[in-house]
Structure 1
Amino acid sequence: MDPLFPALDTARGEALRFGDRSLTYPELAAFAAPLAVRLRDTGRVAVWATPSLETAVGVVAALLAGVPAVPLNPKSGDSELTHIVRDSAPTLVLAEPGTELPPALASLDRHDIDVQIDVQDDGAPRPAPALPEPPPESPALIVYTSGTTGPPKGAVLPRRAIAATLDALEDAWQWTGDDVLVHGLPLFHVHGLILGTLGPLRRGGSVRHLGRFGTEGVTRELGSGATMLFGVPTMYHRIAEALPDDPELAKALAGARLLVSGSAALPVHDHERIAAATGRRVIERYGMTETLMNTSVRADGEPRAGAVGVPLPGVELRLVDEAGEEVAADDPEAVGEIQVRGPNLFTEYLNRPDATAAAFAPGGWFRTGDMAVRDPDGYVRIVGRKATDLIKSGGYKIGAGEIENALLAHEGVREAAVTGEPDPDLGERIVAWVVPARADAPPSLTDLADHVASALAPHKRPRVVRYLESLPRNDMGKIMKRSLTQQ
């Protein structure tokens, strides 16, 4: 197998920038290689994944060493961290110097990631021995899921999956070593770590991490040579809100080669506002921890609001009904669960053979739990999660996502989420959770129901509206619907 980071030996430009600190490719190699040598026989290592140069160096070193890395969310609570440490059993934790670690990690040996070049007596950098490339199926990362239905599960991602996803995105996004990527995503998850950090490093390009996301940072970086922006819908919503009063932000976005949104559906209303102000369309992609990336709108394809594009090279995708039968590809109204297979898939849930077996259908198809429809030309449109977003009302199967987009197009709605709840007549009734644009004048149920009925269909109108000051979201900006329904 080719090395994950061939550019470490060839590229000379800037590899990483976090705030005012940066590393060139030779510097990254000089820091990561000696640490990799120390890690070779340590077993699994945890990485305290702060948004820092040190985190990036630590993960690259672990990958060079062929040691599985377990990124840890610094915002996780003590009980969750305790579970992850017990489950993954790392031998040590890599951390940024000076960072205080919580009690849950007290049992682990600590190794501070020292971003200093190892030099010989004559002051020259000490050459690091070449390390053999591990086998493609060997574990590279163990990334823990969000744990919405129980304790978080550790998805074991092999080197093969990381290489396959990043190379498929190279094709879909025409991604090259000349690209400079901007993002402010956390480094403990697939989007910010694998796509946003390892992706540029595999290409020989550069990543500029904002530390904390802000429109000022986006303007600064895209206005000074960056070509791509990765974000989640919450970030793009903030961009859409700021654009009317920020011509410099509009100019910076207009000059970007690619604006990519992921981790959740980007509301159509925000798509349209950004396009109107900048002339640029945000493209969406679809993936998850267990599968990395499955689909994307291509850089040379048609950006289509509400769609996550077509399957990536090497990825097979099908929609199946409740009986497990494949949904006809030529029926754009047929809702089915997305199942995928390909080289992008994880190997297993760590220590959970039962959960691993249940996640796969016969033939090696992974059950994503996401519901979608498919346009005649193959574009996939996700309508929600099978467990929380598929509403069976009055004999219809209704996806929450399209109703949410319709609600967000109403001038009186700032944020919206849709769930179902039991109804003795309909089976389930549609419930809209709304953050009004004006708290003192929220839109009425009748107004919202008529708006949705005219935009979509009468059977898709909400029967109940509940008003909130804000919607509960996780670190990636996803709405936590289980928190809503538990209210």
Structure 2
Amino acid sequence: MSPLFPALAAGSPLPALRFGDRSLTHAELAAAAGASAAGLADTRRVAVWATPTLETAVGVVAALLAGVPAVPLNPKTGERELAHILADSAPSLVLAEPGAELPPALSDLPRADIALTGPGAPLVPEPSSGAPGAPEPPPEAPALIVYTSGTTGPPKGAVLPRRAITSTLDALEDAWQWTADDVLVHALPLFHVHGLILGILGPLRRGGEVRHLGRFSTEGVARELESGATMLFGVPTMYHRIAEALPGDPRLAKALAGARLLVSGSAALPVHDHERIAAATGRGVIERYGMTETLMSTSVRAGGEPRPGTVGPPLKGVELRLVDESDGIGEIQVRGPNLFTEYLNRPDATASAFDGGWFRTGDMASRDPDGYVRIVGRKATDLIKSGGYKIGAGEIENALLDHPAVREAAVTGEPDADLGERIVAWIVPADPSEPPAPEELSAHVAAQLAPHKRPREVRFLEALPRNDMGKIMKRALRD
């Protein structure tokens, strides 16, 4: 059976991981992770305290080499949620970087530090030319257990088998023409699909390199793209900051213009930011669509049209359908080798998540004639039924962001005795001292879209509530 990371098995001397001024080649990573993997051989399940560090990457790779399911833990998780995840996943121990201060919820778990340097450190021996760790586990073997955001109750642990990881990364190799020559730069957290599986495991599977910034900055992006990086992964918040910085930063514009691929995900990138980046750099940002349970399902292809508002066609091997479609909009359901196997300890939730082998995503979308998928939003929070119309919050948000007095915008629906639901706009003004008039914003939307899509209420905020991925937490707005 072919290994998950061929370049590690071959002992490649090429760069693999770089975090700041610390780095490992594929051969060094194979030796480092292999040494840790040997100590995990009889472990049922392991938690990884997922700080944005070299140690986290080594710890996850070690678990994968050992064939032990890893549970990445968000270091910002609150005590109650963390206690739930630990009780649900029951890890045998927690891997952490030396010196990391762990919360009380982890005090009863044995701790193993992932020490890469220093006196007595067991890792980074002489590079090995052989494949470290246990024999390659079967494709259905659990690789990672990634917990959902818990928007509809306590977080659920999505069990991701090895075939889901390999099929997604290989489908992206096809879609993005991703090779060992690519050097990825990103600054995403390492406890979720985008940052860990795409951002760390993706380059390792291809035999290429990833450079993690530790903390996002436009200066760091420019520096790495200038010095050989070819790809940038980010979320809309990062690309918004890039778009804001571009007019006064010709160095950043030149660096982005030289990138092979700019990828945004985890939420929709506003049209306004698409246009500003393309105008300043001549380079379009492509979007892809996925979630914890499905990994990646669609993507605009490298060299394809980066059409704002779309996430491209289904990836190789993925089937996608729209169910209960009306007004051109339906719920996305997918099936294919990219899917998770179950919610840990939740057979009821697992059963209700599937419809005859198709996973119910809860996301609403339409499809262009050429197969490009347009995400409308979550069925529960972004689909507004007002006055007999089915309205997507995203298109109204894009229209609002086109207004020069609007810095950020979110749209929700609220119960209305007459309309069923009324459209509410939450606005962060460009100039807080002079916010635009609500009726001006409503008229702006009505002129761009249609009168029935105009906000009936406009509420001003200093900032929109966001999670670690930069996604707007609409339930917090409505609550």
Could you say what secondary structure the match of 2:298 adopts?
strand
Identical residues among aligned pairs (%) = 80
- Mapped pair 1:155 → 2:161: no
Tell me: CA distance 1:247–1:190, structure 2 relative to 1, closer, same or farther (3 Å).
same
CA distance in 2, matches of 1:119, 1:193: 21
1:131 CA drift (Å): 2.4
After the TM superposition, which residues 23-422 of structure 1 pair with which residues of structure 2 at under 5 Å, given as runs? 23-116=24-117, 131-321=134-324, 327=325, 333-362=327-356, 364-422=357-415
Aligned residue in 2 for 1:455: 448
Q: In structure 1, what residue type is equivalent to 2:477?
A: L
Change (3 A) 1:128 1:12: closer
Distance 2:302 2:218 in 1: 23
Aligned-partner residue type, residue 400 of structure 2: L
**1:263·1:476 contact (CA, 8 Å) conserved in 2?**
yes
Residue of structure 1 in register with 2:6 after alignment: 6
Distance 2:318 2:449 in 1: 32
Whether the aligned pair in 1 keeps the contact of 2:186 and 2:211 (CA below 8 Å) is yes
Residues 141 and 129 of structure 1: is their aligned pair in 2 closer, same or farther, counting only changes over 3 Å?
Answer: closer
SS at match of 2:200: helix
Q: TM-score, normalised to structure 1's length?
A: 0.95
Q: Secondary structure of the equivalent of 2:175?
A: helix
Distance 2:86 2:459 in 1: 39
Select between 394-403 and 450-459 the one with higher mean Cα deviation: 450-459
Alignment partner of 1:310: what SS?
coil
The residue that corresponds to 2:434 in the other structure is 441
Structure 1 CA distance, aligned partners of 2:344 and 2:217? Answer: 36
Structure 1 residue ranges without an equivalent (≥5): 322-326
- CA deviation after TM superposition for structure 1 residue 128, in Å: 7.6
TM-score, with structure 2 as normaliser: 0.97
Letter in 1 for 2:167: A
| Residues 299 and 313, structure 2, Cα contact 8 Å, conserved in 1 | yes
Two-structure CA RMSD over aligned residues (Å): 1.5
| Paired residue type of 1:35 | S
CA contact (8 A) 1:119 1:125 kept: no
Give the C-alpha shift of residue 247 in structure 1.
Answer: 0.3
Q: How far, CA to CA, are the matches of 2:255 and 2:321 in structure 1? A: 38
Q: What is the CA deviation profile of residues 213-261 of structure 1, one whole-angstrom value per residue up to 9, with x for unaligned ones?
A: 0001001000100000000000000000000000000000000000000
Q: Distance in 1 between matches of 2:9 and 2:95?
A: 24
Contact 1:215/1:249 (<8 A) preserved: yes
In the alignment, the residues of structure 1 paired with residue 297 and residue 132 of structure 2 have an alpha-carbon distance, to the nearest angstrom, of 36
Distance 1:54 1:296 in 2: 30
8 Å CA contact 1:34, 1:128 repeated in 2: no
Q: Is the contact made by 1:411 and 1:437 (CA closer than 8 Å) also made in structure 2? A: yes
Count, aligned residues: 474
User: Aligned with 1:186: secondary structure?
Assistant: coil
Structure 2 segments unaligned to the other structure (5+ residues):
none
3-state SS of paired residue (2:174):
helix
> Cα offset for 1:118?
5.2
Q: CA deviation at 1:9?
A: 2.7
CA distance in 1, matches of 2:464, 2:397: 13
Relative to structure 1, the CA distance from residue 447 to residue 119 in structure 2 (aligned partners, 3 Å threshold; closer, same or farther) is: closer
Cα distance in 1, alignment partners of residues 293 and 272 from structure 2: 30
Distance 1:317 1:457 in 2: 30
8 Å CA contact retained: 1:30, 1:118? no
- CA distances 1:128-152 after superposition (whole Å, capped 9, x unpaired): 8652100100100000001111111
- Following superposition, the deviation at residue 125 of structure 1 comes to 6.1
User: Partner of 1:324 in structure 2?
Assistant: none
Q: How far apart, in 1, do the equivalents of 2:72 and 2:416 lie?
A: 43
In the alignment, the residues of structure 1 paired with residue 183 and residue 397 of structure 2 have an alpha-carbon distance, to the nearest angstrom, of 33
Inter-partner Cα distance in structure 2 for 1:380 and 1:125: 45
Contact 2:411–2:425, Cα closer than 8 Å, also in 1: yes
Counterpart of 2:459 (choices 441, 458, 466) is 466
Question: What is the CA-CA distance between 1:300 and the residue it aligns to?
Answer: 2.5
Q: CA-to-partner distance for each residue in 1:374-414, whole Å, 9 max, x for gaps? A: 11111001011000011000100001011000100111100
Please name the residue that 2:425 is paired with.
432
